[in-house]
Amino acid sequence: MARPATKIDAKAKLLEAALSVIRAKGYSATSVDELCAAAGVTKGAFFHHFKGKNELGVAAADYWSEITGSLFASAPYHNHADPFDRILAYIDFRKALLKGGIPDFTCLVGTMVQETFETAPTIRAACERSITGHAATLEADIEAAMRERNMTPDWTAKSLALHTQAVIQGAFILAKATGGAEIAADSIDHLSRYIKLLFGVATEPAKPRAEGKSR
Amino acid sequence: MARPATKIDAKAKLLEAALSVIRAKGYSATSVDELCAAAGVTKGAFFHHFKGKNELGVAAADYWSEITGSLFASAPYHNHADPFDRILAYIDFRKALLKGGIPDFTCLVGTMVQETFETAPTIRAACERSITGHAATLEADIEAAMRERNMTPDWTAKSLALHTQAVIQGAFILAKATGGAEIAADSIDHLSRYIKLLFGVATEPAKPRAEGKSR
DNA sequence: GACAACATACCAACCGGTTGGTATGTTTGC
DNA sequence: GCAAACATACCAACCGGTTGGTATGTTGTC
């Protein structure tokens, strides 16, 4: 057993603190001292578990992958029998997560990679793993939906899966810029509409072209 | 005439330096000293022109709006007679800008707002102005294209204009995460495809549904 | 008693910002 | 028309606080 059990482990508390503090203030603006204060541990504990701030950054990104990985793995959208329905339910799920304060629903690795892509290669790589790894879980459903319909489009399942992540990350930026989630939700609606159109599902009350004007 | 003429103004050099340094390292990680060194001026000059680092941030965002504003205003995509063609040409133009190093084609305000949305309201507001202002230039063409086709969709021109910005911002994040522009280009292709589908333009070699399986 | 898990105390470098100062206009009173 | 008064643009040196990081304990567990 070995675990002291009395305490929830300084490392875990530091990682948990990192998620909230970095999402609110960004990676560079978050100091080690502040992280320790938020976690309720001392600096000695910090440097006992991490060689330096960058290593904490990598660990935070990996921890984020774990947390979100299990959140999405156990999410109800997998219950749909049809893979296409799972894709749409996934997007609905992402939209439903846009609740609470902005730091609460935005993405840790999306925030971190913006600041570190040039200066901290190990953090950049950890963020890449997190994003592409999550996209890969979607790719399978997209591929299945394509196969089911015998589609041979000029795009790949992988690029569409990554596109969903781009839209979501971009929606977060708009939310941060405007100070609210409304525009982000609209953008995710557009993503949903796109995927329905791609797979040939009618969405609109659509009365396209009524009078002349062909194009 | 009065112009010192000998020098190009310390303020202008600082703003120019801010664009490149902040895009590469982020706002928080960029120090005033570093900015001064990159601009070739002293700290005294910095604080003569700006009350503090945050004021420089606001000025940099406004300067970014100016620079990009005139870049897009004079871009050739406006030459198309049909508003819908202008939209597609705009997106092509954005894709064509994905050249050179990542800090060279990514967005200053998209980067800055991620770090400052909670801690520096004035910078956040300046970034919002920049993004929404740019989106507004697109909105007019979208509205015109909708009117031309007598469309009454369940989305607005404004939300679609902002969605294009979300996709582009998200594409930048993917570029930063993967260390290359390829995935970003793919995502912009998806955006182009979406808009064509929305406006009822066939894009694909598309052989949707060949055998049974209706849905 | 050895070792992991912490805490305490401390440091040199760097941070944003201030200081007192100079050099060069520009304005205004006479 | 010219000099005092003021304004602008900039600079080098410096300041106190904060930074990431280290060196050295102390404590609890096997």
In DSSP notation, A40-58 reads T--HHHHHHH-SSHHHHHH
How many angstroms separate the CA atoms of A34 and A12, rounded? 16
Cβ–Cβ contact A3 with B under 8 A: no
Nearest CA to A11 out of A53, A52, A59 is that of A59
**What is the Cα–Cα distance from A197 to A182, expressed in whole angstroms?**
23
Which domains, from first to last, does chain A contain?
A: 54-198 (1.10.357.10)
Residues B205, A141 contacting (CB under 8 angstroms): no
Select the residue of A102, A155, A197 nearest B117 (Cβ to Cβ): A102
| Reported confidence tier of residue A206, pLDDT bands at 50, 70, 90 | very low
DSSP A77: G
**Amino acid code (one letter) for B37:** A
Looking at the complex, report in whole angstroms how far the Cα of residue A62 sits from the nearest Cα belonging to chain B: 14
Is residue A3 pLDDT above 70, yes or no?
no
- Tell me the one-letter amino acid at B194: Y
Q: Write out chain B's pLDDT in tens, 215 residues.
A: 333 333 458 888 999 999 999 999 999 999 999 999 898 888 888 998 999 899 999 999 999 999 999 999 999 999 999 999 999 999 999 999 999 999 999 999 999 999 999 999 999 999 999 999 999 999 999 999 999 999 999 999 999 999 999 999 999 999 999 999 999 999 999 999 999 999 987 654 444 444 434 44
| Residue A160 near residue B105 (C-beta atoms within 8 A) | no
Calculate the average pLDDT of chain A. Answer: 90
Nearest residue to B106 (alpha-carbon basis) of B177, B191, B54? B177
Q: Say whether residue A198 is in contact with chain B using an 8 A CB cutoff.
A: yes
Sole residue written with tokens 């793919």:
B186
Residues A155, B117: C-beta atoms closer than 8 Å:
no
pLDDT in tens, A24-50: 999 999 999 999 999 899 988 899 999
B45 touches strand D (CB under 7 A): yes
Asked if A9 has any chain B CB less than 8 Å from its own CB, the reply is no
Residue A83 forms contact with B (CB below 8 Å): no
- CA–CA dist B142, A121 (Å, integer): 40
Q: Which amino acid would we find at residue B150?
A: N
Locate A62 and state its tokens.
Answer: 């990996």
Q: Which two tokens stand for residue A65?
A: 């992958």
Radius of gyration of chain A (CA): 21
Burial class (CB in 10 A: 0-12, 13-18, 19+), B202: exposed
User: Whole-angstrom Cα distance, residue A168 to residue B23?
Assistant: 21
- pLDDT on residue A210: 40
Residue A100, chain B, CB below 8 Å: the answer is no
Q: b vs e for A145-172, b when ≥16 Cβ sit within 10 Å of the residue's Cβ?
A: bbebbebebebebbbbbbbbbbbbbbbb
Name the nearest CA neighbour of A149 among B201, B207, B197: B207
Quote the distance between the C-alpha of residue B119 and its chain's center: 22
pLDDT score at B205: 47
State how far the Cα of A118 lies from the Cα of B30, in Å rounded to an integer: 13
CB nearest B111 (choices: A25, A114, A198): A114
Return the residue in B106, B116, B118, B209 with the most chain A beta carbons within 10 A, the one to mutate for interface testing.
B118
Interface test with A, best of B123, B169, B196, B199 (most A CBs within 10 A): B169
Cβ of B7 less than 7 A from strand D: yes
CB contact under 8 A, A173 and B166: yes
Tell me the DSSP string of B171-195.
Answer: HHHHHHHHTSSHHHHHHHHHHHHHH
Q: How far apart are CA B112 and CA B126, in angstroms?
A: 10
Q: Does strand D come within 7 Å of the CB of A115? A: no
Q: Is the CB of A32 under 7 A from strand D?
A: yes
List pLDDT tens digits, range A132-154. 999 999 999 999 999 999 999 99
Predicted TM-score of the model (pTM): 0.91
